[in-house]
Structure 1
Amino acid sequence: MLEWLFFLLPVAAMSGWFAARRHYKKRRRHNDTPFNPDYFKGLNYLLNEQPDKAIDVFIGLLEVNSETVETHLALANLFRRRGETDRAIRIHQNLIARPTLSSSERTHALLELGMDYMHAGVLDRAEHIFLELLQHSPVPYQAPEQLLRIYQQQKNWARAIEMAEKIPGNRRKQVGTLIAQFYCELAEKNAEKDRHGSLAMLKQALYHDEACVRASILTARIHLASGHPRKALKNLLMVEKQNPAFLSEALPLLLECHQQLESIDTFQNWLRQLLQRHPHLTSARLMLAKLIEQSQGRNSAQEYLYQELHQYPSVEGLYQLMRLDENNAPALIPLIQKITDNMISRGDRYTCKNCGFSGKTLHWHCPGCGKWATVRPTEVHLSALEKLLDRTT
């Protein structure tokens, strides 16, 4: 047995050597295979400064398989960032057409194709793709978010609400604010045709966002228009708790409620209490001064404002005080009134807390950053005098 063993060892070694030699010869012959002619075609396009055609050729040479899918997606995203959306669309369409793609890879490619169409502004095709993705399991979280963007642009508030409710719960607070604003849009649109329906929508708005000032103010306006000042008053009194910055918007409606209820004295007392809680609320101070003027005369209103402005100065208050004392210094008062009037008219009444956009009109949807419920009323105080003087020059 030992003799046979010593005889077979050299035979085994020789067999292994021949097998290895055949393998490497075969591999070398395979590697010696000429390049794909399309490769030289692409190089020719590059040399002739035709990069568009060259890229198309090289994309075609890149075989789609499980190892190159990410390369295709990265290349398409690069094109989209560069603004070459048509190329990104072609790559993603090419990926989706491949039967070898796995379910997750196809879902990813579909999502990217929808983003291509969004970037290109082709909203109908993007909508179709994202609606298809809603049928997948699991649903990509981007699908309802992108549909929400589409329906906001189309002002399709009912569908926007539907998509917002599909967004995951970790963004529930932000989504609640959006849904409340969408219900307000629907209610405002239908307020004259269907008051009861609008009130129901505003109730839904407050359900999703109890701090929605817009819903409270709109509800109050509908009740006032329907001859229900007490119901309107109840809604308006919620504004202080929801967001005191919007009290200046609620005050004219509160005055209208008390006028219809013939309870101006009660309103005056409430304004005094309000100023104790919010001493820098200039709009409330000016309204109280007007009510004092109507009930007690101009001198009493002037004395009240004179004392208040020493502690809480404001441009609007100064203007009102000069109006009450227009008989004194007849040559100087008109000039000062003109300057302060110019400053007040140029001052911005509303500012977005998110992007700093400012203007003279209240926008519930900020034109600057596109955020909802971020614009706040502001009041022109003497601290802003330098900025306003710059605008007048």
Structure 2
Amino acid sequence: MNTILQWLLLAVAVGTGWALGRWRLRRQASPAPIDDEDRLRERLQFLFTNYSDEAIESFLDSLDVNRETVNLHLSIGAHFRDRGEVERATLIHQNLLARPELPGRYSSQVTYELALDYLAAGLLDRAEALLHELLGTRSYGARAAEQLVLIYQRERDWEKAVEVARTLVGINDTREIRKQLAHLLCEQASDQGAVSRVPDPRELLEQALSYDPGCVRASLLLADLARERGNWREAQQLLLKVFDQNPAFGPEAVRRLLGLAREFGVERKLRRRLHRIYRHHPSTTLLLCLVEEEERFNSRDQALYLLHGELQQRPSLRALMHLLEMEEGREPRQGTTPHLVRQVGQRLLEKRPAYQCTRCGFGGQQLHWLCPSCKNWETVEPYQGVEGE
């Protein structure tokens, strides 16, 4: 890069404030506010649009490293990483750390950015080592812990993920972090490959509820364990608790409750309880269970009466399909209206997801406690609406 181009770049950067502070040659000028992110973004975009990557790198090499210019280095490094040019970003951040003139207060920030470069490149071991260095720092301890938890989630190392998440709760105790820790404890309790080295699953699940009393997953897993021990009363109480924790997950509890009641012969007792729950937390799954039980213990006519009444109050495609099956039989004659309605309804149901994320809209046919798309915990719920619950 020739000298003229170097000076041109430097003049543009200084003239638009990209150096984010007072340059030594402009001691009497007022610096642009360092925290003006929108203005910085516009100015950097101008730089990236009008100059090649090689020119920008050469400019950075010729630029002193001091408190006025560090943010410029970091912003350009992050820009390269966001564009997928991880090697360039890594080189910028490595060079910054190697410069003896780097102000000490920026060391943690540069280290964190370099760790993000390694993560983007898939070099998890290197990223992990740098993030562990930052755990004890005041400014980047929480962010380092968050990234470490994500690494251990990715590697399915639940024991380490739980350990770091506990540290994170101590640094930054929020509802979201507690929810995350509760689910990590559930993962650890469910990890069949680690049964010999993990604590008692019940203990882990109870810890999950202590961190997040609304953790539906912990209640469902504890209910499964109670059922395995033959303690149907404890299992039933845990499953009924789900309706208080998050009624949207009621259908997950209903399926287990019905199986539990049939296994231990307590269907009649449970039916009365489920009718009361339905009045407060109606869902299609619960309605169809009640209809099925009504037919088993009373009559088909009473089951149809219940279904007719609820459909008028709360339209549901699944319930309508069930009504057609009950009234017309499972194989209605081809060409008839009931046959056509069932065909169309079945196609509509096949196309809609059984579960949907309330944050990003991801849909699927199975329950994911961690959304595969937006990576949030417990946001994928049974699909709601006329075609769902």
Coarse TM-score class (shorter-chain normalised)? 0.7 to 0.9
Match of 2:93? 92
2-structure distance, mates of 1:192, 1:254: 29
CA contact (8 A) 2:108 2:140 kept: no
In the other structure, the counterpart of 2:107 is: 106
Q: Distance in 2 between matches of 1:268 and 1:91?
A: 66
Residue in structure 2 matching 1:186, options 188, 195, 203: 188
Question: Which one of the candidate residues 227, 231, 239 is aligned to 2:230?
Answer: 227
Does residue 1:271 correspond to 2:295, yes or no? Answer: no
Paired with 1:259 and 1:160, the residues of 2 have a C-alpha distance of 38
Q: TM-score, normalised by structure 1?
A: 0.78
Contact 1:229–1:260 under 8 Å retained in 2: no
Q: Does 1:74 align with 2:49?
A: no
Distance 1:220 1:59 in 2: 60
Distance 1:196-1:323 versus aligned 2 partners, 3 A rule: farther
Deviation at 1:61, TM superposition (A): 2.4
- In structure 1, C-alpha distance between the alignment counterparts of 2:164 and 2:78, rounded to whole Å: 25
1:380–1:316 distance in 2 versus 1, CA, 3 Å: farther
Q: How far did 1:379 drift?
A: 4.6
Q: Is 2:253 aligned against 1:250? A: yes
Residue type matched to 2:83 in 1?
Answer: R
- Give yes or no for the alignment of 1:259 onto 2:223: no
**How far apart are 1:41 and its partner, in Å?**
9.5
Q: Which moved more, 1:151-160 or 1:239-248?
A: 151-160
Match of 2:365 in 1: 360
Change (3 A) 1:70 1:315: closer
Paired amino acid for 2:305 = E
Alignment of 1:1-393 (within 5 A): 39=3, 51=52, 54-136=55-137, 139-167=140-168, 170-190=172-192, 193=195, 197-278=200-281, 280-326=282-328, 330=333, 332=336, 333-379=338-384, 381=386
Identity %: 35
Give distance in 2, aligned partners of 1:375 and 1:52.
41
- Superposed displacement of residue 380, structure 1: 5.4
Other structure's SS at 1:210 match:
coil
Letter in 1 for 2:246: N
The offset of 1:66, in angstroms, is: 4.5
**How many angstroms apart in 2 are the aligned matches of 1:175 and 1:151?**
15
Contact 1:42 1:55 in 2 (8 A): no
Q: Could you tell me whether the CA contact under 8 Å between 1:42 and 1:53 is conserved in 2? A: no
Q: Distance in 1 between matches of 2:194 and 2:104?
A: 50
**Superposed CA offset, 1:254-293 (max 9, x none):** 1122223322111111122122223x42221111111111
Q: Normalising by structure 2, report the TM-score.
A: 0.78
Residues 71 and 196 of structure 1: is their aligned pair in 2 closer, same or farther, counting only changes over 3 Å?
A: closer
Distance in 1, Cα, partners of 2:54 & 2:265: 80
After superposition, the Cα gap between the structure-2 partners of 1:63 and 1:41, relative to the gap in structure 1 and judged at 3 Å, is same
Find the aligned partners of 1:233 and 1:105 in 2 and give their Cα distance: 55
SS at structure 2 position matched to 1:270: helix
Per the alignment, do residues 376 and 302 of structure 1 end up closer, same or farther by CA in structure 2, a change over 3 Å counting? same
Residue 11 of structure 1 is matched in structure 2 by none
Structure 1 residue matching 2:374: 3-state secondary structure: coil
**Against the structure 1 CA distance between its residues 158 and 292, is the aligned structure 2 distance closer, same or farther, given a 3 Å change threshold?**
same
Cα 1:66–1:165 change in 2 (3 A) is same
Offset from partner CA, 1:3-36 (integer Å, 9 cap, x none): xxxxxxxxxxxxxxxxxxxxxxxxxxxxxxxxxx
Q: Distance in 2 between matches of 1:127 and 1:191?
A: 23
Cα pair 2:135 2:142 within 8 Å, conserved: no
2:66 and 2:103 in contact (8 A); partners too: no
Label 1:193 to 1:57 Cα distance change in 2 as closer, same or farther (>3 A): closer
Give 5+ residue unaligned stretches, structure 1: 1-36, 44-49, 385-393
Q: CA deviation at 1:135?
A: 4.0
Q: Is the 8 A contact 2:278 2:286 kept in 1?
A: yes
Residue 326 of structure 1: CA displacement?
Answer: 2.2
SS in 1 for 2:356: strand
Q: How far did 1:67 drift?
A: 4.3
Question: 1:180 & 1:255 partners in 2: Cα distance?
Answer: 27
How many residue pairs match? The answer is 342
Task: Pick closer, same or farther for the CA change 1:380–1:134 going to 2, 3 Å.
Answer: closer
Over 3 Å counting, the alpha-carbon distance change for 1:193 and 1:107 in structure 2 is closer
Give the stretch that moved more between structures: 184-193 or 108-117.
184-193
Hey, what's the Cα distance between the residues in 2 that align with 1:78 and 1:284?
A: 51
Structure 2 gap ranges (5+): 8-50
CA distance in 2, matches of 1:196, 1:165: 16
Aligned to 2:14: none
